Structure 1
Amino acid sequence: MKRRSIKQIVYNTMYLQDTLPGKAFNLLLIVSIVMSVFVVLAYSIPSVAAEYWYAVNYLEFFFTVLFTIEYLLRAWCSPSSKSYMFSTFGVIDLLSIAPTWITIIFPLFPSLALLRLFRVLRILRLVKLLQYLNDTHLMMQILLNSRRRIAVLSLWIMVLVVIFGTLMYVIEGQENGFTSIPISIYWAIVTLTTVGYGHITPQTVLGKAVASLIMLIGYSMIVVLAGVISQEFSDVKKKLQGMTCSSCGTSDHAHDAVYCKRCGARL
């Protein structure tokens, strides 16, 4: 009975964000995640890593132990440990602590490129921050509702870059840097998205005219995508505002509200 009560306390602290212990735990965890990412960034700077080698490594080990304890506690107090471990955030938690333990368990192979790649995965801890942002669910719902229109727009973009890439390959030719159709398609992508790295530029008048058209279409695509997201956001907001409490008639609840903010009745 005592073990079960401790398990429930740990669960409420780690999973329930509307309680005082839960808010304090989330705040502490967010601060730890941000600080650990700064440690990863510092480790990638050769001068900092060389001068503060001991401090950086000790801090990294400290945060790894901290997040390992968190991972084990979440798996222990979760109603289904297997569901947590194979969930998105469970996998991210595991990937964020695995690199350090791999380098500790296999100290004879510190220079392997694979291990260096694993160490970069520690920055995935930033993804954990998303679950503590209240508007994450709302944005995910908006993107989910807009998935068909976004898919159609993405399909149009793919068709356009293939067409314009092939066209520029014919117009400019290999002597102007458009050495193949895939290279030309890559140029069309960076031009349509208005990025433009500048390593390949059209030289002919017709090529410049086509490039100008691609850039204008790119800006139009951004406007269309913004319009799709804005419209869906407006629809979701109206739907949420229309969620009226049947007991007291109060509306305009938060998007993740379960109970009425006035009378406490279930919505």
Structure 2
Amino acid sequence: MRLFASLPSFFRDNYPSAERLGVPVARWRQSIYRTVFETNTPLGKTFERYLTLAILLSLCVVVVHSIPGTAEGWRGYLLRGLEWIFTLAFTAEYGLRLISVRKPWRYALSFYGIVDLLSIIPAYLAVFFPDAQFLAAIRALRLVRTFHIFPALHGFLSEYLMLARALQASARKIFVFLSVVAMIVLVMGTLIFVIEGPEHGFTSVPMGIYWAISTVTTVGYGDVTPATPMGRFFASVMMLLGWGIVAVPTGIVGAEISRNGTKARMKGVECDTCGENRHEDDARFCRRCGTRLQST
């Protein structure tokens, strides 16, 4: 779960910068660099906004193209044409990013460079493997730049970090919980295999475990169902157990979010008398000894 907590800093620390990539000497390359990399300039912000819009539209094209019936006739030609227009535009943008820096390989091997490359490869692979065009949905990863472009989204970062910290703090509890669930479905899956048997669709212990997982998670596909009274009794127990199982991780993460929210409201003002350094933002007196706190 540490991955959740490190994602925001990962995206921020690996964002392309002049120090990593090197600003070119030629003026025409500097002009391209300021447009495609620097999001703090008016031209750069405008470029990134249009780029974000193009990414969203290309994702819509990929999704619509997967709907049965839309890939036939003039709709199919239109969608394929739009997909190639977006692909060529993203290819040109990728090329501009490479030629506008002094260290193109450093950009190509960075997280953002790899994502940019992977977003255009599926369209070319589709020439040989038609279904590969749907892998273009990886372009959604390019939207991580949105946090750097749109100031309106900066306010969501603190909530994102709070959720990440809660998931990180809950990792061990959730692991223990899932291990208990795994033991339950293993036992119940084996029992239902013994009770029902192959004649009722439970052809093996793995099939019984599959049924136990789909039942305890309240999904219940219905492709395999108990037919005997004892099997239905076990199924009823599993369904009731599933309600409690779904609620447990929610409570664990919710408690951590509440705890982190309380910690976030604390400020590190140290009391001169007793040394207590955890006080609420609006606290004027020490929570331990009552001494008036020095304002910061």
TM-score by length of 2: 0.67
Q: Which secondary structure does the structure 2 equivalent of 1:55 belong to?
A: helix
**Which position in structure 1 is the counterpart of 2:186?**
162
**Which position in structure 1 is the counterpart of 2:89?**
66
TM-superposed deviation, 1:43: 2.0
**Which position in structure 2 is the counterpart of 1:192?**
216
Distance, in Å, in 1 between the alignment partners of 2:193 and 2:101 is 57
**Which position in structure 2 is the counterpart of 1:211?**
235
TM-superposed deviation, 1:145: 3.1
Q: Deviations over 1:167-204 (max 9, x none)?
A: 11011111111111111111111111111111111112
* Matched pairs, number: 237
Q: Which secondary structure does the structure 2 equivalent of 1:229 belong to?
A: helix
**Which position in structure 2 is the counterpart of 1:237?**
261
Contact 2:37–2:44 (CA<8 Å) still a contact in 1?
A: no
Q: Looking at CA atoms only, which structure, 1 or 2, has the larger radius of gyration?
A: 2
Q: Taking every aligned residue pair, what percent have the same amino acid on both sides?
A: 37
In structure 1, the gaps of 5 or more residues are 110-114, 253-267
Q: Root-mean-square deviation (CA), in Å? A: 3.4
Distance 1:49 1:200, change over 3 A: same
Residue type of the alignment partner of 1:128? R
In structure 2, the gaps of 5 or more residues are 1-24, 148-155, 270-279, 283-296
Distance 1:140 1:215, change over 3 A: same
Distance, in Å, in 2 between the alignment partners of 1:72 and 1:239 is 46
Contact 2:189–2:205 (CA<8 Å) still a contact in 1?
A: yes
Distance, in Å, in 1 between the alignment partners of 2:70 and 2:163 is 38
Distance, in Å, in 2 between the alignment partners of 1:137 and 1:88 is 21
Q: Deviations over 1:222-254 (max 9, x none)?
A: 211111221222233233333579xxxx969xx
TM-score by length of 1: 0.73
Write out aligned runs for 1:1-267 (5 A).
Answer: 1=25, 2=27, 3-4=29-30, 7-8=33-34, 10-13=36-39, 24-51=46-73, 52-73=75-96, 85-86=108-109, 88-103=111-126, 107=127, 109=128, 115-130=129-144, 132=146, 134-135=156-157, 136-242=160-266
Higher relative contact order (CA 8 A, sep 6+): 2
